[in-house]
Amino acid sequence: PHGYEDMNFRIGFSHNLGNGFSLGTSVTNIIRTTGRSSSSPEATLGYRFSAGASSFGVSAGMGLSADPTVGTYYLANGIVDWKLADKWTWNVISARYRNSVAHEWFTPKIATGLSYQVDARQTTYVTVGYSWKDIGAGTNPDKINVGMGYRLGF
């Protein structure tokens, strides 16, 4: 009963503020199989710290959905990464809590992945995740997410 539902493209920028803090912004463009597309901008403030081979991060922010039944939403993210080798990192878990400010729209997500650091500025990654959705009738399974990407630091 599951099939390809949509494709997301995200572009984001993050600025290191120092002492583990960062400020980020991104825009996700969603292209659905129905042909309808939408964009959702987000802004976040994050904190990250390392302990040996592990690193931990949290962030919180606000976003705006192009879907008028959602509108403005708030989000919180948590991550745990484990450095496997010089260039390889297991993104052990990434967890998201996201909810609409004024409507029934609760969409938590968990994911895991693997990152390869090409050099000091470039990283490639793959992820797999699972999300749920509650639009007023209870929290139900929503999507299996598979992704790949490229990060460039400057």
- pLDDT given at position 3: 67
Which residues, 6+ apart, have CB-to-CB distance to 114 below 8 Å?
A: 88, 89, 90, 91, 125, 126
pTM of the predicted model as reported, rounded to 2 decimal places: 0.88
pLDDT tens for each residue of 37-67: 888 999 999 999 999 999 999 999 999 998 8
pLDDT tens for each residue of 99-126: 999 998 999 999 999 999 999 999 999 9
Compute the distance between CA of residue 49 and CA of residue 64 in angstroms, rounded to an integer.
Answer: 28
Compute the distance between CA of residue 143 and CA of residue 148 in angstroms, rounded to an integer.
Answer: 16
SS3 per-residue string spanning 98-149: EEECCCCCECCEEEEEEEEECCCCEEEEEEEEEEEEECCCCCEEEEEEEEEE
Quick check: 35 pLDDT over 80?
A: no
Compute the distance between CA of residue 34 and CA of residue 46 in angstroms, rounded to an integer.
Answer: 35
The CB density around residue 57, as the number of other CB atoms within 10 Å, is 17
Which residues, 6+ apart, have CB-to-CB distance to 20 below 8 Å?
A: 47, 48, 49
- pLDDT given at position 14: 93
Compute the distance between CA of residue 45 and CA of residue 107 in angstroms, rounded to an integer.
Answer: 20
What is the mean pLDDT of the segment spanning 19-37? Answer: 89
- pLDDT given at position 2: 59
Tokens of 97: 């809590």
Which residue, among 48, 43, 45, 52, has the nearest Cα to 19 in the 3D structure? 48
Compute the distance between CA of residue 60 and CA of residue 98 in angstroms, rounded to an integer.
Answer: 10
